[in-house]
Copies of this chain bind each other. A is one copy, B any other.
Amino acid sequence: VRAAIRELDANGLASFSIRNLAASLGVYPTAVYWHIPNRNLVLAEVVARALEEVIPEKDPAWQDYIRELFLRYRVMIKKHPNLAPLIGAHLIGNSSISLSLVERLLFKLSSAGFTGENLVGAYNAVIAALVGFVTQEFAPIPKEDSREWQSRVKDRLLALDPQAYPVLGKNLPLLANKAFILRWQSGDQAPLDKSFDCYVDMVIGGLENLLPPRH
Q: State whether A121 touches B168 (Cβ < 8 A).
A: no
Q: Mark A73-110, 1 if CB is under 8 A from B, else 0.
A: 00000000000110011111111010111110011001
Q: Mark A111-141, 1 if CB is under 8 A from B, else 0.
A: 0000011111111110111011101110111
Q: State whether B205 touches A127 (Cβ < 8 A).
A: no
CB contact between A171 and one of B84, B88, B106, B140 (< 8 Å): that residue: B106
CB contact between A136 and one of B118, B132, B207 (< 8 Å): that residue: B132
Is chain A's interface secondary structure helix, strand, loop, or mixed overall? Answer: helix
- Copy tally for this chain in the complex stands at 2
Docked pose: A140 CA to B94 CA in angstroms: 11
Query: Which residues of B lie under 8 Å from residue A199 when comparing CB positions?
Result: 121, 124-125, 128-129
Q: State whether B37 touches A145 (Cβ < 8 A).
A: yes
Q: State whether A124 touches B94 (Cβ < 8 A).
A: no
Q: A85-B89, A125-B202, A168-B99 are in contact. Are A144 and B40 (CB under 8 A)?
A: yes
Q: State whether A184 touches B94 (Cβ < 8 A).
A: yes
A206 at the interface (CB under 8 A from B): yes
A182 at the interface (CB under 8 A from B): yes
Docked pose: A172 CA to B70 CA in angstroms: 24
A167 at the interface (CB under 8 A from B): yes
Q: Which of A2-10, A24-32, A52-60, A190-198 contacts B (4 or more CB under 8 A)?
A: A190-198
Nearest neighbor of A182 in chain B, beta-carbon distance:
B102
Query: Which residues of B lie under 8 Å from residue A201 when comparing CB positions?
Result: 206, 209-210
The residues of A with any CB-CB pair to B shorter than 8 Å are: 37-38, 40, 84-85, 88-95, 97, 99-103, 106-107, 110, 116-125, 127-129, 131-133, 135-137, 139-142, 144-145, 148-149, 152-153, 156, 160, 164-168, 171, 174-175, 178-184, 186, 192, 194-195, 197-199, 201-207, 209-210
